Amino acid sequence: MTGSGPEPDSHRTSDRGFPFAAAAGVAGGAGSGQRSSAGTTLDDYTDRYAQRMRGMTASEIRALFSVTSRPEVVSLAGGAPFVSALPLDAVGEMLGSLGGPAHGATTLQYSGGQGDLALRERICEVMALSGIDASTGASPDDVVVTIGGQQALDLVSRVFLDPGDVVLAEGPSYVGALGVFQAAQADVVHVPMDDDGIIPEALTEALATVARAGKRAKFLYTVPAYHNPAGVTLSEPRREQILDIAERAGLLVVEDDPYGLLGFSGEPLPALRSRRRDGVLYVSTFSKTFAPGLRVGWVLAPHAVREKLVIASEAQILCPSMFAQSAIATYFASMPWREQIKTFREIYRERRDALLASLTDLMPAGTRWTRPEGGFYVWLTLPEGLHSKEMLPRAIAARVAYVPGTGFFADGSGGSHMRLSYCFPTPERIREGVRRLATVVEEEMKMRAVFGTAAPGAAPGVSWTPAGTFGAAAAHTPSPGQE
Ligand code: PMP
């Protein structure tokens, strides 16, 4: 999201160009680059890419985000955990020892495709905090270790999705999951949420819409706790309702739970998986409770599915990094990780408070936002007529960054919203960021008052009703390649 990754191929300028293009007589039309003595500025490979790449475009706002790491910009955009709060001396020493003579022969070696047993046992200890334990059928044997939560989502998609399949997902949804579903050439149908999470009636309606289209949704992808990007949590009564609806429809639930242990009230919520042995795949990660740089996550799946996930993972990566797995297993075996999670919770709660108080004090009337009880994110709705993506260049010029809501809907709607992250900047920086943002919003409102309120590309079908509902009002099922 922060745009620090490599530039997409389409932006690269090669000084030699594609060697066969001229010989093959490829000229003009789609797929042909503009050749000059300096090389090619367009993409000569266009007609060779796989179908699945068609919908996968580099973020238009990537270039803007490249400036957000500058110290003068307050970034409320990225979801980077505050890893400086870790006991880095002790962690560094542990990592050095793991790579040294005592352990290196094991940690620097290949490992099994399912992941190291010692780590899978630790994972079961961690999941027990969310009510997922042996009494609910969880066992190390049904855990697959992955490269972060992201590979876990990718594996689930590889195992279950064919091109054209339907995935139900909250509206808005985690942008990385949308990318995975797009790569699988699946159609995402968003299910609206409100302050209590996904709306059960809306789920029933979405299922009916999909059925009317002669399709069957393969699974519901949901982040029930401290949602990214909405910041809301699925309420207790709704948890059972959503599971009942899914069960009756034969709909698999993919529960993505990176933030479940980061609730500000202390006690973790029982996960959806703790209520059902079957029908729920549970995905999580150590990225938010320990360190994203180690890239370790997991899936807990019913036994038969677990087998498929391992096969898919072996085809993709052979095995997860043994070094990273050992680091996590050692950290969880020998360091006070429960206290560390408490420290993280306290830091994030203070930052959440700073963000909410600053928004209340500084944002103009007509702006609304969610009040997260955990996690990293606030979902903000702009005053009528404003568009978060249109406004972003002006915000960055004013030295504040956010993520426009458009990234969190498969159809690019959501322009009246933005995601604000409070996980990384200090409370003082958060307040300064909101002060800058409020000024930008006020100026934008003045401009709209003069030039009209019809924001170009304003989010069709996305609303926050007085009752607080947001999400795509109509099911959207883009076909692959329809961007
Ligand atoms: N799911 C959600 C909801 C997330 O917010 C993230 C990280 N932003 C992930 C999955 C991916 O986690 P990881 O960094 O472990 O790949």
- Looking at the fold, whether 259 and 177 belong to one and the same domain comes out as yes
Indicate the range of 207-221, 238-252, 254-268, 468-482 predicted with least confidence.
Answer: 468-482
Please indicate, yes or no, if residue 14 is contained in any of the structural domains: no
- What type of residue is 410? A
Of 336, 366, 392, which marks where a domain is finished?
336
Claim to verify: residue 347 and residue 317 sit in the same structural domain: no
Instruction: Specify the CATH number for the domain of residue 205.
Output: 3.40.640.10
Residue 26 belongs to some domain of the structure: no
If you average pLDDT over every residue of the chain, what do you get?
86
Please check the confidence at residue 19 and state whether its pLDDT lies above 60: no
What does the pLDDT look like over 348-372, one tens digit per residue?
Answer: 999 999 999 999 999 999 999 999 9
The CA 255 to ligand 1 mean position distance, Å, reads: 12
Would you say residue 467 lies in a domain?
A: no
Share of residues in the chain with pLDDT > 70 (%)? 84
Residues 6+ apart with CB under 8 A from 106: 322, 326
Q: Is there a single domain that holds both residue 383 and residue 244?
A: no
Instruction: Using pLDDT thresholds of 50, 70 and 90, give the confidence band for residue 390.
Output: very high
Position with higher pLDDT, 30 vs 395: 395
The domain that contains 375 carries what CATH number?
A: 3.90.1150.10
Proportion of the chain above pLDDT 90, given as a percent = 77
Tokens of 230: 């909405």
Pocket probe mutation, ligand 1, options 232, 287, 295, 298, max atoms within 8 Å of Cβ: 287
Does residue 316 share a domain with residue 184?
Answer: yes
Residues facing residue 418 across a β-bridge: 380, 404
Mark out the alpha helices in 275-387 (DSSP H runs).
303-317, 322-334, 337-362
- Tell me how far CA of residue 372 lies from CA of 140, 196, 351, 356, 466, in angstroms: 32, 11, 11, 9, 19
7 in any annotated domain: no
Instruction: Ligand 1, residue 147: give the atom nearest the CA.
Output: 16
137, 122: one domain: yes
Tell me, yes or no, whether 211 lies in a domain: yes
Is the same domain home to 358 and 398? Answer: yes
Q: Residues 6 or more apart from 31 whose CB is under 8 A from it?
A: 43, 44, 45, 46, 47
For ligand 1, the distance from its centroid to the CA atom of residue 190, given in whole angstroms, is 19
Is there a single domain that holds both residue 299 and residue 443? Answer: no
- Closest-CA residue, ligand 1 atom 9, reads 149
Query: In this model, does residue 27 exceed pLDDT 80?
Result: no
What pLDDT band is residue 482 in, cutting at 50, 70 and 90? very low
CB atoms within 10 A of CB 183: 18
- Give ligand 1 pocket residues (Cβ under 6 A): 79, 148-150, 174, 176, 223, 228, 256, 258, 285, 287, 292, 297
Rounded Cα distance, 406 and 389, in Å: 7
Q: Same domain for 277 and 153?
A: yes
Show the domain range for 196: 103-336
Contact 462, 409 (CB under 8 A): yes
Cα separation, 231 vs 127, in Å, equals 21
Domain identity same for 419 and 377:
yes
CB atoms within 10 A of CB 274: 22
Q: Is residue 480 part of a domain?
A: no
Give 132 Cα–ligand 1 centroid separation in angstroms: 20
If asked whether residues 186 and 316 sit together in one domain, one would say yes
Instruction: Say how far apart CA 331 and CA 340 lie, in whole Å.
Output: 11
Over residues 122-150, mean pLDDT? 97
Are β-strands 368-369 and 297-300 bridged in parallel, bridged antiparallel, or unpaired?
unpaired
Amino acid at 151: Q
Under DSSP, the state recorded for 47 is G
Per the structure, the count of domains in the chain is 2
Ligand 1, residue 223: give the atom nearest the CA.
3
Do 176 and 160 have their domain in common? Answer: yes
Please check whether residue 427 lies inside any domain of the structure.
Answer: yes
Are both 123 and 173 inside the same structural domain?
A: yes
3 lies in a domain?
Answer: no
Mean pLDDT over 415-438 rounds to: 98
Last residue of one domain, picked from the residues 336, 360, 376: 336
Give the residue among 304, 303, 288 at the shortest CA–CA distance from 348. Answer: 288
pLDDT at site 41: 66
Q: Round to whole Å and give the CA distance between 351 and 424.
A: 8
